[in-house]
Structures are given as C-alpha cells and as structure tokens.
Amino acid sequence: MAVSQVNLRYAMGINMKKKQGMVLLSLLIWGSGQFIVAKQRVKGSLFFLAQVLLLGTELFTGYWLNYFAGQISDFSIRLYGGFFTKGLWGLITMGSVEGIKGDHSTILLINGIIAFMGFIILMGVYIVNVTDAYKQGILLDSLGRKEILKRNKLSTKKKAFPYLILMPAAIVIILIVLMPIIFSVLTAFTNYDMNHLPPAHLVDWVGFENFTKLVSVPIWSKTFLTVLIWTIIWAVAATFSTYFMGLLQALMLSSKYVKHKGLFQAIYILPWAIPGMISLLVFKNLLNGQFGPFNQFLLDTGIISERIPFLTDPVLAKISILAVNLWMGFPTFMVMLLGVLANQEESLYEAARIDGAGKLQVFRRIKLPLLMQATAPLIIMNLACNFNNFGAIYFLTGGGPTNSNLQFAGDTDILISWIYKLTLDQRMFSMAAVMNILIFLFIAVVSLWNFSRTNAFKEM
Amino acid sequence: MKNKINWLLIHLELILVALFVIIPIVWIIMSSLNTGNGLASASFIPKELTFDNYKRLFTDSNYSKWFLNSFIVAALNAVISVMLIMLTAWIMSRFRFRGRKTGLMAILLLSMFPTFLSMTAIYTLFWNFRLLDKPVALVIIYAAGAIPYNVWLVKGYLDGIPGEIDEAAYIDGSTYLKTFTKIVLPLSRPIITYCAVSQFMMPWMDYILPNMLLSSDESRTLAVGLFGMISGKENSNFTMFAAGAVLIAVPITILFMFFQKYLVQGIAAGANKG
C-alpha cells in the first residue's frame, strides 16, 4: 500500500510539469517544493523554518489562537495583535489611547520599525523561495534529479556560507544603526516634541509640516541659515588652518638646518595623542573669562587692563575655537605631509630650478599643487569631520554665547550642536530630525562625490 | 651668514610652536599638583607641590570605578569590533554573492550618518530592552557604529592581498574558516592593529552616549565622570579634574605614541579607501 502510494506520486510527478508543482507547493508551504519534489532537504527546511518563524512569532506573541477559539468577542489588533500585526498597527497609528496607561507612541514606533524590517526580510525570503522553486523546477524538467543533486551539493553550501557569516554583523547593523536612522527620519514627519511626550501624550503623523515650518517661520529659517553659514565657515577655516599650519611645520622639520627633528616632532605630536575631550576641557578653563590663568597672566604682565571674554564674546569665541582647533588639529596634517614629503622626487624641483624658477615659484607652482593633490582625500574627509565636530564646540563654549535672535542656538553653535540642544534641552525631536535629514544629505553628497572618484569605488 | 640667519629663524619658529604646544600641557600638569580646589587657585607655578588631588580622586570620587567601566567597555569593544569587522570585510573582499554590492553601498551610506544623531531612538531602544545604566551595553553601539567605516577600510586592505594565496590553501584542502584564521588574519596584522587600537581608544573619551544612557554615578565612564567634576559654574573641583585628566591622558598618549605608525597608516588608508 505504502509503496504503491509513493509510486503513484512519483508517476504523477513525472507526468505533470515539476516546475508548476514546485512553485505551487512552495507558494503555500515555504520550501516544500524544494523538500518534496527536488529532494533538497536542507534548503527546503531552511525556507520552511522562515515560515515557521513568521507565523509562529505572530501567533504566539498575539492572541490569535484565543480569537480563533472564540474566546475574544471584540477583537482589536491594538490589544490582541501579534508581533507583526501589532507592530505595523503601531507604525501606522502610533497609538490611539492617550494617557499613562495608554499607548507609548515612540515605543510603538520603534517596535513597528523592527517588525516592519523583519517582515520585509521574511517576505524577501518568501520571494527567493518561490523564484528558487521555479528555477529548480525548470532544471528538474530539463536535466533530471540525479544531475541536479550532484550540482547542488557543492553549490548550496558555497552559496550559503557568506550569508551565514554576515548574519551577526547584519543583525547588529540593522538593529543599532539602521533602525535608529529610520526612526530619526520618520520623526521628522511627526509632532514629537515637548507637548507630545510619551507616555502621557500621543505622537501623531503631521506630514511635511516641520519642513514647511523651517522655510516659512522666519525665526526657524533665520536660525537655520545663520547656523548653516557658520558651520560651513567653521568647517572650511578649521580644516585649512590646520592644513597649512601642518604644512608649515612639516616643511620646517624637513629643512636641512634642523638637526633635532625627532625631538620637535615628538613634541608636536602631543596634541594629537592627548584625548581631544581632555584638551578641550583644559582650554575651556585656560581661557575662562573670569578665573582663567591666561587672562590672569596677561593682567599680571600688564598687557591688558581688563579680562578678555575669550569664550563669551560672539566674535572672540569663534576665533578662540578656531585657535584651539588649530592646536589640536595641525599635528595630524603635519605627520601626513611629512610622509608625503619624504616620498617626493627631488629631481622634479631640481629641473624647475635649473629652468630658472625661484624657490617660491617652485613651491607655489609645483610643490604645493602636488602636495594638495596627494592629500586631497584627507582634506575632504577632514572637512566632513569638522562639519560635524560636536566636541570642539560643545566642550569649549557649549555653543554660547546665547543669541536671543536665534531659535535656541548660540553664536558658535554649528548644526550638530544645535540639533543636540534641540533634542536634549528643548525636546523638539521633530525639528531636530528635520535638521538631521538635511545634514545627512549634505554629508552624503559630499562624501559620495569624493568617494566616486577613488579606485575603491571603480573596483567594487 | 645667510645660513646662520636661516638656521636662527627656523629654530625660532620651531621653538615658538613647541611652546604653543607645550604650555597648556604643562599648565594642566601643574594644576593637578596644586594645593586648593578651584580654577583660580590653579597657578602656573604652584607654591608647593602636592599629590593630594590624585589621592582625592580615589577617596572622594568614583574614579577607579569609572576607570574600570571604561576599561571593560574599551577592551570588549576592541575585541568584538575587530571580530565583526574582519569577518565582514573578508566576506566582502573574497566572496561574490547576490546583494554584495548593495550591501557595500548601504553600509557606505550608513557610515555617513553620525551615530549620536540617532540618540533618541537608541535611548528608547535601550529603555525597551532594560539596558539603561549598564556600561557594557555601550559596546554593542560602538561595535555596530564601527562596522560600516572600518569594513570598507579593511576590505580595501584585503583586496590588496592576492587571492591566489587563499586559492592555494583551498586546493590543499583547507576549509574557509581555517584559511581565514591561518592565512588571512596573520597577513592583515597592521590593519587589525589599527582597528583594535582605535576601537580601544575611542570609548575612553566618548561623552554623549554614555552621558545619556548611564545615570548612576557608579556606572559612569571616565569621560562622563570627569566632565561632571567641572560642569558646575564655580569649577570647585578643578584641581581634582586636572589630576584625573592627567592620569588618563598619560596612558592614552603613550599608547598612541607606541602605535603611531599603524594609526597614521590607517587614517591615510581610510581617506583613500584603499
């Protein structure tokens, strides 16, 4: 009896197209086509496991079983939904019951994003499962089972290996890097702020309202432009001041007159080696307008008659920040440029000199362009870093002095420190998120442009 | 004569810059040896030298606890980050599979989004999983944040190692993982050193995330603890802060000097992305 059943099924399988059978089976029960028809046990089981994961999670985190058993009379996804349905519901509505015992909008949002990403990934597995069934079906119909088994044994293991190894890194990145970014982007389209703080209040979707606010409300657009302009000035000035100071010191050190190159180099590297935050906090105190020893020194020696507000005057504070950044940043470029200088062909300069070019001319026309070209990627990377150099601003001046014409921003605030204040001090999460998106676009465009010119990109 | 003037001018410049570099450093070291507490009493040339501030760090503050927290986070971060980075970069460099290019482009884009801009989400996520106030939980953020940029860096490095070496090992019957541990890892020692050292040094002075995620004084990291000492208006603990700063800056500076060659190479490679 059993034998004849198997034979019957086998005979049927040969008669009807295997391709169709496999696809139909795998459409309903994931991996069943591969498992039953193509006898690819491992692959089939893995696909089936994904389906079990999807349905199992949904069933056992929700109350679906009770619902099907008729124990729940008025069913709602909010109360009885499982991981995926409740997640998606939360993502769309961000809660419907206000109050401490009601819905917590941001947690619903985060769970919703996680559920949505998980759902998308499992749907991806489902699609791969069906297309794979289709492909294997065609192969089975044309080649026969034996040939395929021989081929697959090797290739399945080989194909699965990269995915298996990448799994931990992928999970960590999706949860810790990607999820918060999606959350941050989505926040820009909500009214998540001081007046809508969960758990007491609900957050709602507001569409592009925050973006229009940035353009149409004068104080927002004015603050944004003021801060943006200073951010750009800061990034450019900070990068190039350190670059040229580094270049100057590198040239000085490689001059033939210097005997104790190593000693000076060791001293110059110190600011790079010392943790940046400590340096900044030290300078914050050194330049303190009331008790700072620098002011005291100037007073004692009679150079000034009253204390200078290095960090609290709008213009002076900007200059002080750039000066401190110069102290901290020039060693990096100095070391990099020393490396480039050591690898340069002296003969090129000799040739120019023989042709009658003066020393300055050789430097300006030949040496400097060559050095700039060799260090261009470093300069651009440095620009991008300074654009978001939160520490230099926050630890030194805290963005201050405060400027009452600006919306919660001080005179030395750059975009990122302004965002920090909006988030932590003002709790204007939605507006901060709008700014986040703009910064990200800016950085991404610059970096991608920079990157698209490198070899790494072409050889990817 | 001209030579002598040149010699003099160049050395004058070098010494001036050296003073510009050194004076703040000497000042903070001197401050840490001062008697008295406040910033105003921290004079450049103290009347008498004392190690009281260093002693007070261990008796009056949780400095040793903060140090231990930071050390655990830093060490774990170095190990976990390097493992994840090396494995991912190796796969990306040596294997060709569907989704590889998309994955590489995706992490490139992700690496441009500053981690701390997503602090609200991370805070809520940590709250959700009951991970707040646990220093060790910081490691997962640091490690995840380190993957995108460093994978590109290491991938560039591995691309420079001829694939024939691994092919030969496979022909000799070596498995994937064995080839990775016995051949790829030893060949990439410089880049591993760079990743490990930079990942070890980073958490010591990271402020924003630990400040947000750790609330009790006991569970703080050094950066948060030190900042707390001088965040008050009157800077009443300034000399103690100075001592704490010197005490942590010295080992990190030595570490940096020791691994300087690798760090410079790593940064240069990072700018060129291979």
The residue-averaged pLDDT of A326-343 equals 91
In B, which residues are within 8 Å of A335 by CB distance?
A: 260, 264
The residue-averaged pLDDT of A104-120 equals 92
The pLDDT of residue A217 is above 50 = yes
Q: Closest Cα partner for A242 from A357, A321, A308?
A: A321
A270-329 pLDDT tens trace? 999 999 999 999 999 889 888 788 888 888 888 888 888 889 899 999 999 999 999 999
Residues B10, B16, B21: CA angle, nearest 5 degrees: 125
- Extract the tokens encoding B85: 């980075």
Provide the shortest C-alpha distance from residue A7 to chain B (in Å): 38
Distance CA B172, CA B120 (A): 52
Q: Which residues contact A267 (CB under 8 A, 6 or more apart)?
A: B18, B21, B22
Q: Do B257 and A269 touch (CB under 8 A)?
A: yes
In B, which residues are within 8 Å of A414 by CB distance?
A: none
> For chain B, first and last CA: distance in Å?
48
Question: Which H, E and C letters describe chain A, residue by residue?
Answer: CHHHHHHHHHHHHHHCCHHHHHHHHHHHCCCHHHHHHCCCHHHHHHHHHHHHHHHHHHHHHCCHHHHHCCCCCCCCHHHHCCHHHHHHHHHHHCCCCCCCCCCCHHHHHHHHHHHHHHHHHHHHHHHHHHHHHHHHHHHHHHHCHHHHHHHHHHHHHHHHHHHHHHHHHHHHHHHHHHHHHHHHHHHCCECCCHHHCCCCCCCCECCCHHHHHHHHCHHHHHHHHHHHHHHHHHHHHHHHHHHHHHHHHHHHHCCCCCCCHHHHHHHHHHHHHCCHHHHHHHHHHHCCCCCCHHHHHHHHCCCCCCCCCCCCCHHHHHHHHHHHHHHHHHHHHHHHHHHHHHCCCHHHHHHHHHCCCCHHHHHHHHHHHHHHHHHHHHHHHHHHHHHCCHHHHHCCCCCCCECCCCCCCECCCCHHHHHHHHHHCCCCHHHHHHHHHHHHHHHHHHHHHHHHCCHHHHCC
Residue B142: in which H helix or E strand, if any?
helix B138-159
Is pTM beyond 0.90? Reply is: no
Provide the shortest C-alpha distance from residue A300 to chain B (in Å): 12
Q: What is the DSSP letter of B232?
A: S
Give me the pLDDT at residue A340, please.
86
- Extract the tokens encoding A132: 């794979």
A395-406 pLDDT tens trace? 999 887 888 888
- Extract the tokens encoding B228: 């707390």
| Closest residue in chain A to residue B250, using alpha carbons only | A274
Give me the pLDDT at residue A8, please.
47
In A, which residues are within 8 Å of B144 by CB distance?
A: 172-173, 175-177
> For chain A, first and last CA: distance in Å?
59
The pLDDT of residue A41 is above 60 = yes
Q: Do B121 and A281 touch (CB under 8 A)?
A: no
Determine which of A13-17, A142-146, B130-134 has the lowest per-residue pLDDT on average.
A13-17
Provide the shortest C-alpha distance from residue A162 to chain B (in Å): 6
The residue-averaged pLDDT of A93-113 equals 87
Q: What residue spans define the domains of chain A?
A: 2-196, 211-458
* pLDDT mean across residues, chain A: 86
Q: Is B203 on the interface with A (CB under 8 A)?
A: no
Domain A211-458 - what CATH class? mainly alpha
| Closest residue in chain B to residue A334, using alpha carbons only | B264
Whole-number percent of chain A with pLDDT over 90: 37
Closest in B120, B144, B248 to A429, CB measured: B120
Q: Do B245 and A159 touch (CB under 8 A)?
A: no
| Residues 91-120 in A contacting B (C-alpha not used; CB under 8 Å) | 106-107, 110-111
Confidence grade of residue A154 (pLDDT, cut at 50, 70, 90): low
In B, which residues are within 8 Å of A282 by CB distance?
A: 24, 27-28, 242, 245
Q: Is B8 on the interface with A (CB under 8 A)?
A: no
In the Cβ-directed half-sphere of B40, how many Cα atoms lie within 13 Å? 6
Confidence grade of residue A3 (pLDDT, cut at 50, 70, 90): very low
The pLDDT of residue A14 is above 60 = no
Alpha carbon A203 to chain centroid, angstroms: 25
| Residues 342-381 in A contacting B (C-alpha not used; CB under 8 Å) | 377-378, 380-381
B81-129 pLDDT tens trace? 999 999 999 999 999 888 899 999 888 888 877 766 788 888 888 888 8
Name which residue leads in pLDDT, A153 or A64. A64
Torsion, Cα A427 A430 A431 A437, to 10 degrees, reads 130
Give me the pLDDT at residue B235, please.
58
Confidence grade of residue A101 (pLDDT, cut at 50, 70, 90): confident
Mean pLDDT per 10-residue interval, chain B, length 274 residues? 87 94 92 79 73 89 93 96 95 90 87 76 87 92 91 90 88 88 92 94 90 90 89 72 92 91 84 59
A292-308 pLDDT tens trace? 888 888 888 888 888 88
Q: Which residues contact B121 (CB under 8 A, 6 or more apart)?
A: A110, A179, A180, A183, A184
The pLDDT of residue A240 is above 50 = yes
Give me the pLDDT at residue A123, please.
95
Give me the pLDDT at residue B64, please.
93
ipTM, 2 dp: 0.89
Domains of chain B: 2-54 (no CATH), 61-233+245-272 (1.10.3720.10)
Single-letter amino acid code for the residue at B264: V
Confidence grade of residue A438 (pLDDT, cut at 50, 70, 90): confident
Residues A240, B14, A274: CA angle, nearest 5 degrees: 65
Q: Do A390 and B148 touch (CB under 8 A)?
A: no
Distance CA B5, CA B237 (A): 48
A414-427 pLDDT tens trace? 999 999 898 888 88
> Cα separations (Å) of B110 from A174, A250, A283, A455?
10, 35, 33, 20
Q: For B76, list phi and psi in degrees, rounded to 5.
A: -60, -40
Q: Do B208 and A180 touch (CB under 8 A)?
A: no
Contact between residue A203 and residue A430 where contact means Cβ atoms under 8 Å apart: no
Distance CA B196, CA A95 (A): 44
Tell me how crowded residue B50 is: count the other CB atoms within 10 A of its CB: 14
Farthest CA pair distance, chain B? 75
Q: Testing the interface with B: which of A105, A109, A166, A272 to mutate, by most B Cβ within 10 A?
A: A166
Distance CA A132, CA B45 (A): 78
